């Protein structure tokens, strides 16, 4: 799988895993992808806590409001934000917003890298933060942001519906939808490609008409001659 857009589009949230070992090579590649994510001021205010032990995975699944399916995953990776670091440089916005965004960027990198390695993932956001904090002795100033369950998919669910492109784009003003963005932006390449396509269709239709006419004429002549 090489093309990034293909990877992005084909990634699915996997809830059911095979009870299969995930190698350290793969886990480290996934976390390596995370640490290359963008972060505010390149602060990289994140840590990744790897959970492999079956009993601990079970306890995490319970803390995730009884999402027991994730205990079967080969590994659970808890993404921890370090909000104080961001607060030092960017005040409240750094603490509350950038830290969340940094960790979310790291999360998406992890999901995509895992997918490229043939592994499935589930982004777990619903969990009891305090329970996780207690379980792993996470200090007060560190915030568990999300958990990634990584494993071999038991099944790949169908793609859930996604809004079409035009439904999520506004131009220049809130709610301002543009019917034909290519035309609006005077995107010559797209406009020319469309014209070429129309010309091609017209030529194909014309050619077909000539062929049909020729066949008709031949048939008529043959009938006359017989």
Ligand X SMILES: Cc1cc2nc3c(=O)[nH]c(=O)nc-3n(C[C@H](O)[C@H](O)[C@H](O)COP(=O)(O)O)c2cc1C
Residues of this chain that bind ligand X (CB under 6 A): 12-13, 15, 67, 122-126, 160
User: Is the CB of 35 or the CB of 65 nearer to ligand X?
Assistant: 65
Surface-to-core class of residue 144, CB atoms within 10 Å of its CB (0-12 exposed, 13-18 middle, 19+ buried): buried
Shortest distance (Å) from residue 108 CB to ligand X: 9
User: Is the CB of 12 or the CB of 85 nearer to ligand X?
Assistant: 12
Shortest distance (Å) from residue 122 CB to ligand X: 5
* Residue 85 in tokens: 């670091």
Measured from each CB, the residue nearest to ligand X is 125
Shortest distance (Å) from residue 125 CB to ligand X: 3
CB 71 within 8 Å of CB 151: no
Question: Of 7, 13, 10, 8, which is closest to residue 147 (Cα–Cα)?
Answer: 13
User: Is the CB of 48 or the CB of 89 nearer to ligand X?
Assistant: 48
Question: Of 26, 69, 82, 16, which is closest to residue 50 (Cα–Cα)?
Answer: 26
User: Is the CB of 15 or the CB of 154 nearer to ligand X?
Assistant: 15
Q: Distance of CA 193 to CAs 19, 89, 189, 203, Å? A: 50, 48, 6, 15
User: Is the CB of 15 or the CB of 133 nearer to ligand X?
Assistant: 15
Shortest distance (Å) from residue 177 CB to ligand X: 24
- How big is the chain, counted in residues? 226
User: Is the CB of 154 or the CB of 178 nearer to ligand X?
Assistant: 154
Give the span between the Cα atoms of 146 and 107, in whole angstroms. Answer: 8
Shortest distance (Å) from residue 15 CB to ligand X: 6
CB 85 within 8 Å of CB 43: yes
- The residue whose two tokens read 């007060």 is 140
* Residue 69 in tokens: 């399916």
Shortest distance (Å) from residue 156 CB to ligand X: 9
């Amino acid at each position: 799988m090489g093309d990034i857009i293909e990877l992005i589009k084909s990634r699915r949230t996997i809830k059911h895993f095979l009870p299969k070992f995930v190698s350290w090579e793969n886990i480290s590649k996934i976390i390596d992808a995370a640490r290359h994510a963008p972060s505010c001021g390149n602060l990289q205010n994140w840590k990744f806590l790897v959970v492999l032990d079956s009993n601990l995975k079970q306890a995490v699944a319970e803390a995730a409001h009884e999402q027991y399916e994730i205990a079967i995953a080969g590994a659970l990776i808890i993404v921890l934000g370090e909000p104080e670091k961001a607060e030092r440089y960017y005040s409240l916005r750094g603490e509350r917003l950038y830290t969340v965004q940094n960790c979310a960027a790291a999360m998406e990198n992890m999901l995509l890298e895992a997918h490229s390695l043939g592994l499935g993932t589930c982004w777990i956001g619903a969990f009891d933060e305090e329970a996780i904090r207690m379980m792993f002795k996470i200090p007060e100033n560190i915030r568990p942001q999300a958990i990634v369950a990584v494993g071999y998919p038991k099944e790949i669910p169908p793609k859930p519906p996604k809004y079409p492109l035009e439904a999520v784009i506004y131009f220049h003003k809130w709610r301002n939808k543009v019917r034909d963005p290519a035309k609006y932006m005077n995107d010559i390449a797209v406009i020319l490609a469309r014209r070429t396509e129309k010309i091609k269709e017209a030529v194909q239709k014309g050619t077909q008409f000539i062929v049909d006419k020729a066949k008709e004429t031949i048939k008529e002549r043959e009938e006359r001659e017989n």
